Amino acid sequence: MHSGGVPTRTDFRAAIEARADRWMAACVRITRDRTLAEDAVQEALLSAWKKRDQFKGGSRLDTWIHRIAVNAALQLLRKQRPGAFDTLDFDVTDEAAAQEDERLADELETDLATSLASLSDIERSCFVLKHIEQWRLKEIADELDLTVGTVKQALFRGVRKLRQRMPALRSIAQ
């Protein structure tokens, strides 16, 4: 897509054609309002275009715009619902339980990272894109130059391997 320097109008068009639906989906998930999400994406595109000289090329142009869109959605949500992101004022009555929950979450994250390393490259890529990045099967297939059927098979094999390696996932992922 973008090869360095300041992104051009062509670079922006290509990014929009390739990823606008993902930006919109992310903004809808954040705002839970299609109109707000549309406003966020439009705001992000205007902002990205105005600030295109700040694009460093360390990431892909569409990824950079994605981050701008998510931030725009959060800003719109904050404006529409003041206080929605205020911290909750409550006391943790059982500090030991909170520490245990944190420890278990850390263990699960470590187990998942270790278990993902046991998957083949295609299984790991498909699993991460589908279940962590929330990509659609068609997007994964297009990005990895595979058929949707191949992606489904890789996901099936990957999930089966993860269930075997991670007993805690057996009941969750079924």
Instruction: Decide if pLDDT at 95 tops 80.
Output: no
Report the amino acid identity of residue 123. Answer: E
pLDDT of residue 174: 45
Tokens of 117: 């390393």
pLDDT in tens, 18-39: 999 989 988 877 777 899 999 9
Domain count, the chain: 2
Give 128's contacts (C-beta < 8 A, 6+ positions apart): 116
110 pLDDT more than 90: no
Q: Tell me which residue range forms the domain holding 140.
A: 109-167
CATH number at residue 21: 1.10.1740.10
Any domain includes 38 = yes
Among 80, 100, 118, where does a domain finish?
Answer: 80
Same domain (yes/no): 76, 138: no
Rg (CA), the chain: 20
pLDDT value of position 43: 94
What does the DSSP 8-state code read for residue 8? P
Pull the structure tokens for residue 31. 């705002």
158 located within any domain: yes
Between these two residues, 73 and 111, which has the higher pLDDT value?
A: 73
